[in-house]
Amino acid sequence: MSKTSLKKALPVLSCFFVMGIVDLVGISTNYVKQDFVLSDTIANLLPMSLFLWFAILAVPTGIMMNKWGRKRTVLLSMIITLLAMIVPYVSYSFPMMLFAFGMLGIGNTIIQVSLNPLLTNVVSSNRLTSSLTLGQFIKAIAAFLGPIIASRSALWFGDWKLVFVVYGLVTVLCGVWLWLTPIPQEPRGEKTSSLGETFGLLKDKMILLLFIGIIFVVGIDVGLNTTVPKLLIEKLNISLEQAGLGTSLYFIARTAGTFVGAILLAIFSAKRFFTISMIVAIPGLILMLFMGGLWGILSMVFVVGFAIANVFSIIFSFALKRKPDKSNEISGLLIMGVAGGAIIPPIMGMVADRFNQVGAMCVLLLLMIYLLYCSLIVKETDDKVDMQVQS
């Protein structure tokens, strides 16, 4: 990558940090549950209030981005994210936290729809998968720092919500950097796809397979994010501040995994990498559920986080390569699948209230089995993605 391309790519990549603010929902759910004495089912309405917007806004954002342009759409998302960071300091109550994370969901929907395609404006096609993975690495840094900042703020200052101040300032800095950077504009046709035409893309069996994959991988990510601390508390009877470090370890593993993945995916087949990732993740999750010691559980949290770190970016790149001329619409469709973060945690919460946190984690095991199937059936060449078996 040339120096000029790098100067344009860096502010775009920095925005992935803002995208990672969405993962605050995991540790926030645990603190809100503790502060307002909520059940698992009620507490998991918090991630639902966030991820529900992906189902509502993702496709319309992908369509309207054809008119607005990708850079302007990303900047709009940052304004909304900043407002969401302010709400907890205006009023701290469960309804207001639902409102704040609803706003964060709106902002994050818009940035996830627009930022991935914006990256294609500044990187070449053959570097897309590794660049998306690098973006996920930066996103993961924001994710693993969140629980650390929240727990340290709670212990040192008696206010875990200071994490919103820190991330609000970062949002401003990244937004200004992107705004001041000239980005090549994508060609915009006169015709904008309709909702029907966009959803019609799901008639392509490969796009449908990948869309469901996005639902499941986000469900796994949010499910682990919110449930690992509860699992540690249930099994080991430790405090939330201590258990929250399990979430940080998960995100450290994801960060390490995306860093390694950004390097390896520039060299090796994404399909093979996908399959190996799931072959490692599934036994790791099973072992996590049966282990009783702190370090045994944490080691498997690390293994699972490391293994699934690159699955989202691999699936996303497969879909963009499938129909490059429909990248905005496909991005909207796939980001609608991020609503898996609203679907899976409530299901896990109901299972946990009925049985226990181990039962809730078994939901994630079923989703991982589907992703393993997805990795086996996909067929990748240099510039094309297809299916191994046509039915």
Give the single-character DSSP code of 190: S
Residue 391 CA neighbour count, 13 Å, CB half: 5
What structural domains does the chain harbor? 11-182+193-387 (1.20.1250.20)
Residue of 258, 288, 251 whose CA lies nearest to 273: 258
Tell me what the pLDDT averaged over the chain comes to: 82
pLDDT at 241: 67
Residue of 43, 295, 21, 255 whose CA lies nearest to 149: 21
Residue of 105, 33, 116 whose CA lies nearest to 331: 116
203, 348 contact by CB (below 8 A): no
Element (H, E) at 216: helix 205-236
Please tell me which residue, 86 or 25, carries the higher pLDDT value: 86
Element (H, E) at 309: none
pLDDT at 384: 59
Candidate from 174-188, 354-368, 375-389 with smallest mean pLDDT: 375-389
Give the single-character DSSP code of 202: G
Element (H, E) at 225: helix 205-236
Quote the CA–CA distance of 53 and 57 in Å, as a whole number: 6
Section 175-179 average pLDDT: 91
163, 146 contact by CB (below 8 A): yes
Quote the CA–CA distance of 110 and 234 in Å, as a whole number: 36
pLDDT at 186: 61
What are the structure tokens assigned to 225, written together? 């994010």
pLDDT at 12: 87
Section 355-377 average pLDDT: 90
Please tell me which residue, 86 or 265, carries the higher pLDDT value: 86
Q: What is the pTM of this model?
A: 0.74
Residue of 49, 117, 109, 119 whose CA lies nearest to 78: 109
H helices of 20-127, in order, are: 24-36, 40-43, 45-68, 70-90, 94-119
Please tell me which residue, 163 or 27, carries the higher pLDDT value: 163
What are the structure tokens assigned to 287, written together? 């072992």
Section 285-309 average pLDDT: 88
**Segment of 42-46, 221-225, 273-277 carrying the highest mean pLDDT:** 273-277
pLDDT at 390: 45
287, 239 contact by CB (below 8 A): no
Query: Residue 134 pLDDT > 90, yes or no?
Result: no
Our separate counts of H helices and E strands in the chain read 17, 2
Quote the CA–CA distance of 176 and 185 in Å, as a whole number: 18
Candidate from 59-73, 118-132, 208-222, 322-336 with smallest mean pLDDT: 118-132
pLDDT, tens digit (0-9, with 9 covering 90-100), for 201-258: 888 888 899 999 999 998 898 888 778 888 888 888 877 767 777 877 887 888 888 8
The pLDDT-based confidence of 190 (bands split at 50, 70, 90) is: very low
Section 300-310 average pLDDT: 91
Query: Residue 278 pLDDT > 90, yes or no?
Result: yes
